């Protein structure tokens, strides 16, 4: 089902695709040693045209843990990109060297273009402000692990819902499941885009857009936090004004359910205060650690079925 | 009741494009690359009354058979238009100008960060029609939507 497929956007994936990946990740976590040579002799190429720490390293780790090999384009300032080579030619080269290509790029649609050029499967590790499908897989898998289900949960997404590719992919991925209710919590400037709203309506997801976290905190099973970037605000004072309302502190968690799981795609700057890290709600580091088994599951399913 | 007199004479062989939204006929002629120098006999009627549209434009071109790509472009600018093929003064074929499912090449994505707007990448913009009324196309690369106004603005500014 996933064998040989490109992974460009969450919208190309079905609920069954997600479940297949989750089931494989479960198996990997149960008996990792059984997976240590399944991709022996296979090569994954990574081409990150934008900075990345977690995503790049977790893809590398995933491939190495499956017994495969990794080649990396390196920093674009030091590669042929610096000489003016375009994306298409770079992808053609990687296609001839590797069995699967992982790409991150600033431009929207870059991964789709790469997939059209390459014969080998292409995995989008983030392009533009919409798509980060493997992050969404990890996010949903984390929810499934912490709550043993995704259906029926009340979920809040906090922060930059307009430009954040992790939040956009997460919201799109939730439409594949039957959640109880979705709260979209953001300043008015960073509300979800119309097409996301249309997607939610089409999928029949019950959702509400709110500006403040306090009013809804007590209802949430999952709170997905994200970074509000200063550069999204033309006026710095406006940024300073809204920022405080979107910081999760011990105080803001007073009405939270015991079972609340706080997730964050990381890196965080100051949107979750450090005092939260030691509470039972803080699941973001465990969530990040799940990046490796989920990407292992994906690589295995794409390369071997 | 006596029939209203025709504003322009019937054509013998050629194409009639009817139900063009009022004021768009000149843009459509330009899209079809008809400048007047090709020698076709062309009749243009603008802002006549129409049951469907309130007011409409009509184009009649003697001796012209439309190419499929012209029909596609007309459909994007005048999605309600009817194209009549005339032979020996009779309408032998009548079809609606339906926007194609996939529009490739001649529209541009309005997202400056879209990969199709990079000059050094060999990629043609490609859009999928997701709604016919109102007309809405979505970029196959970045997912951004073009509305009918966006499309009309692009096609009209180019012609």
3-state secondary structure string, B58-72? EEEEECCCCCHHHHH
Contact A26/A303 with Cβ under 8 angstroms? Answer: no
Question: Is there a common fold for A10-131+289-304 and A133-288?
Answer: yes
Reported confidence tier of residue A77, pLDDT bands at 50, 70, 90: low
> Average pLDDT per run of 10 along chain B, which is 159 residues long?
66 94 91 88 92 88 87 89 94 92 93 94 95 93 94 81
Tell me which of 3.40.50.1370, 3.40.50.2000, 3.90.650.10, 3.30.750.80 is the CATH number of domain A10-131+289-304: 3.40.50.1370
Tokens of A238: 């406006």
Q: A191-221 pLDDT, tens per residue?
A: 999 989 999 999 999 999 999 999 999 999 9
Interchain CB distance below 8 Å, B140 and A113? no
Q: What is the pLDDT of residue A5?
A: 98
Q: What is the pLDDT of residue A87?
A: 94
Which residues 134-193 of A have a C-beta within 8 angstroms of B? none
Interchain CB distance below 8 Å, A113 and B141? yes
Chains A and B form CB pairs within 8 A to the count of 51
Contact A194/A170 with Cβ under 8 angstroms? Answer: no
Tell me which of 2.40.50.140, 3.40.630.30, 3.40.50.1370, 3.40.640.10 is the CATH number of domain A133-288: 3.40.50.1370
CB of B131 within 8 Å of any CB in chain A?
no
For testing contact with chain A, the best of B102, B104, B110, B115 (most A CBs within 10 A): B115
For testing contact with chain B, the best of A80, A85, A109, A202 (most B CBs within 10 A): A109
Q: What is the pLDDT of residue B7?
A: 67
**Of A84, A67, A88, whose CA–CA distance to A76 is shortest?**
A84
Q: What is the pLDDT of residue B57?
A: 95
Interchain CB distance below 8 Å, A108 and B140? no
Q: A32-74 pLDDT, tens per residue?
A: 999 999 999 999 999 999 888 899 999 999 999 999 999 999 8
Contacts of A116 in chain B (CB under 8 A): 123
Q: Which residue has the tokens 């029926």?
A: A152
Residues in chain B: 159
Q: What is the pLDDT of residue B157?
A: 81
Q: Helical H runs in chain A?
A: 15-30, 54-65, 87-97, 110-117, 133-147, 165-174, 194-203, 236-243, 274-277, 284-289, 291-304
CA distance B117 to chain A (A): 10
Q: What is the pLDDT of residue A224?
A: 98
For testing contact with chain B, the best of A108, A172, A199 (most B CBs within 10 A): A108
Q: Is B150 helix (H, G, I), strand (E, B) or coil?
A: helix
Contacts of B143 in chain A (CB under 8 A): 9, 108-109, 130, 195
Bridge partners, B44 (sequence order):
B59
Domain boundaries, chain A: 10-131+289-304, 133-288
Q: A113-157 pLDDT, tens per residue?
A: 999 999 999 999 999 888 999 999 999 999 999 999 999 999 999
CB of B139 within 8 Å of any CB in chain A?
yes
Radius of gyration of chain A (CA): 19
CB of A196 within 8 Å of any CB in chain B?
no
Contact A185/A160 with Cβ under 8 angstroms? Answer: no
3-state secondary structure B86-134: EECCEEEEEEECCCCCEEECCCCCCCCCEHHHCCCCCCCCEEEEEEECC
């Amino acid at each position: 089902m996933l064998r040989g497929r490109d992974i460009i956007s969450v919208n190309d994936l079905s609920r069954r695709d997600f479940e297949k990946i989750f089931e494989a990740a479960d198996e990997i976590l149960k008996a990792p040693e059984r997976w240590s040579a399944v991709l022996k002799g296979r090569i994954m190429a990574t081409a990150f045209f934008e900075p990345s720490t977690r995503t790049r390293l977790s893809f590398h780790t995933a491939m190495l843990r499956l017994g495969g090999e990794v080649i990396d384009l390196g920093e674009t300032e030091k590669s042929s990109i610096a000489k003016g080579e375009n994306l298409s030619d770079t992808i053609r080269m990687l296609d001839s060297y590797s069995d699967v290509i992982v790409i991150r790029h600033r431009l929207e649609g870059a991964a789709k273009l790469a997939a059209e050029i390459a014969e080998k499967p292409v995995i989008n590790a983030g392009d533009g402000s919409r798509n980060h499908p493997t992050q969404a897989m990890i996010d949903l898998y984390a929810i499934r692990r912490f709550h043993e289900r995704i259906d029926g949960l009340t979920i809040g997404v906090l922060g930059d819902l307009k430009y954040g590719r992790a939040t956009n992919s997460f919201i799109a991925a939730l439409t594949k499941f039957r959640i109880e209710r979705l709260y979209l919590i953001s300043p008015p400037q960073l509300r979800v885009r119309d097409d996301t709203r249309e997607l939610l309506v089409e999928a029949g997801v019950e959702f509400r857009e709110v500006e403040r976290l306090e009013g809804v905190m007590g209802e949430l099973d999952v709170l997905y936090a994200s970074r509000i970037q200063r550069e999204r605000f033309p006026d710095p004072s406006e940024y300073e004004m809204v920022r405080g309302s979107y910081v999760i502190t011990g105080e803001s968690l007073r009405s939270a359910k015991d079972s609340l799981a706080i997730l964050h795609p990381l890196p965080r700057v100051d949107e979750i205060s450090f005092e939260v890290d030691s509470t039972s709600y803080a699941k973001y580091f465990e969530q990040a650690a799940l990046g490796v088994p989920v990407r292992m599951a994906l690589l295995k399913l794409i390369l071997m079925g | 009741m006596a029939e209203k007199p025709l504003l322009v004479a019937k054509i013998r062989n050629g194409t009639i494009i009817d139900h063009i939204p009022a004021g768009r006929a000149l843009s459509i002629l330009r899209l079809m690359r008809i400048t007047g120098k090709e020698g076709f006999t062309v009749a243009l009627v603008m802002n006549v009354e129409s049951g469907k549209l309130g007011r409409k434009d009509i184009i009649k071109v003697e001796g012209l058979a439309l190419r499929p790509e012209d029909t596609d472009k007309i459909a994007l600018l005048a999605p309600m238009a009817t194209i009549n093929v005339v032979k020996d003064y009779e309408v032998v074929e009548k079809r609606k100008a339906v926007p194609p499912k996939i529009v490739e090449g001649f529209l541009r994505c309005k997202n400056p960060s879209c990969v199709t707007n990079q000059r050094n990448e060999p990629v043609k913009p490609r859009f999928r029609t997701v709604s016919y009324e109102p007309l809405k196309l979505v970029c196959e690369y970045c997912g951004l939507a073009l509305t009918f106004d966006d499309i009309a603005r692009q096609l009209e500014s180019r012609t």
